[in-house]
Amino acid sequence: MSRLPILTPDSADAVQAELLGEVQRQLGRVPNLYATLANSPATLRGYLSLRDALTGGKLRARTREQLALLVAAENGCDYCVAAHTMRAGRMGLSEDEIAATRAGSATDPHADAVLRFARAVMRSRGRVDDTLLAEIRTHGVTDAELAETVGHIALNVLSNYFNHVAKPELDFPAAAPTAPEGTSMTTTWRTATSVELVEGYSLLDRTGQPVQQIEDVQIRIEGGFLHVRTAPEAEIQVVSAPAVARVAYRDQP
C-alpha cells in the first residue's frame, strides 16, 4: 500500500490536476509514481523539467532507457526496474540485453562505456578517476554525454529514492526483483588465478587499463554474470557469462 496518497483528478487540487493532465497527455496514462509525486507540485514539476531537458540531449533514446534501468537496479527500486524493463522491451531490447543492462554492460561499445561510467559514478559517488574517463572516451563518449549521464543518474535517483519513501503500488508488469532493501549480494567471493575473456571484451586491471586477461582477482558468479574485483575495496566489474572464456582457481591443477 502506498505511504503517500495516489492522487486522482477528484482528489488533486488545481495545480496538481494540471500537472497530472500534462503527464496524461505525454504518456497516455498517469503511473502511480507521478500520481504520488504530485503531492508536491514543485517536485513533480522539477522532475518533469529535468526529464524533458535530458530527452533533448545527445544520448540516444535506447541508451537513456538503459541508464534508467541500470540506476534503478543499482538502487534496488523494484518499481522503476519494472517500468523500465517494460519500456526497454518495447524498444527492442532482448531479455539477455535487459539483464546485461541491469548489471552495467551492453553489447554496443558506446552504450557499454556509458553504462560502465554511470555505474562507477554511482558507486564512487562521482569520484571517478582520470584513467576511467580516458578509457570511456576511447569509445566515443563525448564530454556532453558524460555530463548528461550524470544528469540521468540524478533524474533516476530522484524517482528511485522517492519510490523507496512513498512505496506506490506497482502498476507495471513485475520484473525480476532487485536485492532486498538494505541488503547486498552475499554470494561467496573466491580467488581466481586468472580470468580470461573472449575477444572483444575487457576488464580494467589495477592501473585502470582495459585487458582481456587479468590475474589474481576475487570473483563471484550470480544470475549469469561474473563479478570481478581486483581488491576487496576495489570497484566491482561485471561481465556476462558468454563473455568469459576461462576462469582458473587456485585449487585447479
| Residue 186, pLDDT score | 38
pLDDT over threshold 50, residue 157: yes
| Mean pLDDT value of segment 28-33 | 92
- Which domains are present in the chain? 1-178 (1.20.1290.10), 190-249 (no CATH)
Q: How confident is the model over 131-148, as pLDDT tens digits?
A: 889 999 999 999 999 999
pTM above 0.85, yes or no: no
| Mean pLDDT value of segment 67-86 | 92
pLDDT over threshold 60, residue 253: no
Using a pLDDT cut of 70, give the percent of the chain over it: 91
C-alpha cell of residue 155: 533524474
For residue 218, list its beta bridge partners. 191, 229
Which one is predicted more confidently, 178 or 245? 245
DSSP for 70-134, written as a single string: HHHHHHT-HHHHHHHHHHHHHTT--HHHHHHHHTT--SSHHHHHHHHHHHHHHHHTT---HHHHH
CA atoms within 13 A on the CB side of 123: 18
> How many whole angstroms from its chain centre is CA 213?
26
Q: What angle do CA 143, 145, 150 make, to 5 degrees?
A: 100
C-alpha cell of residue 208: 585502470
Residue recorded with cell 554496443: 108
Residue recorded with cell 575477444: 199
Q: Are strands 237-240 and 225-229 parallel, antiparallel or unpaired?
A: antiparallel
